[in-house]
Amino acid sequence: MFKQLGLVGCGLMGGSLALALKHAGLVQHVVGYSQSPSSSAKALTLGAIDEQVFSLADVALGSDLIVIAVPVAATQATLNGLVDQLDASALIIDVGSTKSDVVEAAAKALHHRLQQFVPCHPIAGAEKSGVEHASATLYQGCQVILTPTSLTPPHATDTLTHMWTQLGCKVVVMGAAAHDAAFAKVSHLPHLLAFAYINSVLQNENAEQVLDLAGTGFKDFSRIAGSEPHMWRDVLLANSEEVLISLAHFEQQIALMRSLIQNHDSTQLLQQIKTASERRSKWTITKA
Amino acid sequence: MFKQLGLVGCGLMGGSLALALKHAGLVQHVVGYSQSPSSSAKALTLGAIDEQVFSLADVALGSDLIVIAVPVAATQATLNGLVDQLDASALIIDVGSTKSDVVEAAAKALHHRLQQFVPCHPIAGAEKSGVEHASATLYQGCQVILTPTSLTPPHATDTLTHMWTQLGCKVVVMGAAAHDAAFAKVSHLPHLLAFAYINSVLQNENAEQVLDLAGTGFKDFSRIAGSEPHMWRDVLLANSEEVLISLAHFEQQIALMRSLIQNHDSTQLLQQIKTASERRSKWTITKA
């Protein structure tokens, strides 16, 4: 399907995608670049890439698919480094958790070549980082959101839909703004709440004893508070507008719950909890 | 160890404890009562109890250990029904998630017999309810908090510490007030936040499409929002003072995060996330 994959960022996300594409026979050759050459060297040793290159220009040269798997804040600088050597028929994708900022960065860096860029967001867990945790099956069964721009030609979206589907993913196509609004609600806000929650527990003098008492509810609720800090700083800032809107909606519900508890309004409190519990109980993760 | 266990409430918690005590050879005979006789009938069929009784007086008669496994709000009424037939050497325990309110209820119902009551809180997951999900291993490896009152004789605490230890539990002894303050932080507040969070997502017109996009972060963070509503209504009201204090501390952290995001204070935002992420990453559940 592709002759050469040019991978920028040989970490968990990029390394896993390279492995998956190779295992599926969708790429013939993978060249890999990392800002820190020790990462791309490790990716070479692990077989995620076939060739280590040391400049963005060398990633672009001869590649018909380019995967940008770097922190979203580095998207524009990455594309700036690729654009001059970019083949006119090459497709570029990213794997970032926010999309409006990535489209904006791509427009600034790529100009008329923006049509070659198809923003992607594979919904894959990534608590561990580093190519040493990369796996050809990381994306299997996941959803992938494609947010083509108004310039993206349908064949580009089709090609990438086909590619992700071959990797065992369910592809959803939507606009970047709708993507960012939805993920503020189901992903970015929960992370923000989990970080704030842990820090609120840590404010207590006896925080360590208290944490020793915590059980499985705490474990699951706070798991995402252990996520990679730089990535989440970037996500919360990149999608700050939607995150703050979702936070305001959450705070309305908190204010309601607080007043029901203060007023010992047993009936209404039960009703609120029932609504949440019933909806959550019937929720299941969407799989490919 | 005990001749007869009198079980009040033949649900998941009570049924599992009866099964565990029988499997460990710590009780010879189990009589079981449920407000709804169909539950105790089911417990009899499943072998969790040996004999079904139809009044609280019959639970007390001849029992040297009584386990109260009913919603915490029903504690006082339950003890009122037991007290007249209570053997002077019998021990009574509960398995509720809050303790100050339970001690208060016990004092009102038991008077001078309060010394026979040892409040217990086994930290065992209970998303599913009903004796059909009961298991002899539910409590294995769990922590159990004992909150003896000033009247509890040391031998009673010792006997129950031994009993729970025999079931594979780690026993922690602390005061009821300290228990409630700690569990407000590590359990009750997370539940409150999870309920409010789900309800805030449901406020959106396109809530269903948004929920379809959610991944593993959402799954774990919101799992406890699916908990049993009556139980959690009772817990949040029973421990309202500590829950509201913990909520206020959480809201301070939320206000801080909001201002850092609004001001695009990348450095301080990263610092806050790092603090949470580092502490959460090294946390592990305490096991027996």
Q: Tens digits of per-residue pLDDT, A34-73?
A: 999 999 999 999 999 999 999 999 999 999 999 999 999 9
pLDDT digit string, tens, across residues A148-198: 999 999 999 999 999 999 999 999 999 999 999 999 999 999 999 999 999
Q: Does the reported pTM lie above 0.90?
A: yes
Which value does ipTM take for this structure?
A: 0.93
Residue of A nearest to B170 (CA): A213
The predicted pLDDT at position A149 comes to 95
Question: Does residue A288 surpass a pLDDT of 90?
Answer: no
* β-sheet bridge partners, residue B146: B120, B173
At residue B40 the predicted structure's pLDDT band, cuts being 50, 70 and 90, is very high
Chain A residues within 8 A of B209 when measuring between CB atoms: 182
A142 at B interface, C-beta within 8 A = yes
Burial class (CB in 10 A: 0-12, 13-18, 19+), B46: middle
**How large is the average pLDDT for residues B263-279?**
98
B41 at A interface, C-beta within 8 A = no
Give the one of B145, B186, B276 whose C-beta lies nearest to A211's C-beta: B186
Question: Does residue B129 surpass a pLDDT of 90?
Answer: no
Contact B182 A209 (CB under 8 A): yes
Contact B258 A244 (CB under 8 A): yes
Strand A51-52 relative to strand A170-173, pairing:
unpaired
Chain B residues within 8 A of A214 when measuring between CB atoms: 186-187, 283, 285-286
A125 at B interface, C-beta within 8 A = yes
Give the one of B200, B253, B285 whose C-beta lies nearest to A196's C-beta: B253
Q: How far is B9 from chain A (nearest CA, A)?
A: 21
Residue of A nearest to B239 (CA): A261
Phi/psi of residue A264, each to 5°?
50, 45
Contact A250 B200 (CB under 8 A): yes
Contact A273 B216 (CB under 8 A): no
**How large is the average pLDDT for residues B208-228?**
95
A256 at B interface, C-beta within 8 A = yes
Looking at residue B30, its amino acid is V
Do B133 and B43 contact (CB within 8 A), yes or no? no
3-state class (DSSP) for residue B111: helix
Instruction: Locate A17 and state its tokens.
Output: 């995608």
Cα separation values, A184 from A178, A193, A194, B255, Å: 10, 12, 14, 17
Could you give the CA distance from residue A150 to residue A213 in angstroms, rounded to a whole number? 53
Instruction: Locate A272 and state its tokens.
Output: 């609120």
At residue B126 the predicted structure's pLDDT band, cuts being 50, 70 and 90, is low
Probe site for chain A from B279, B286, B287 (most A CB atoms < 10 A) = B279
Contact A225 B277 (CB under 8 A): yes
Neighbour tally for A170: CB within 10 Å: 15
Chain A residues within 8 A of B275 when measuring between CB atoms: 198-199, 202
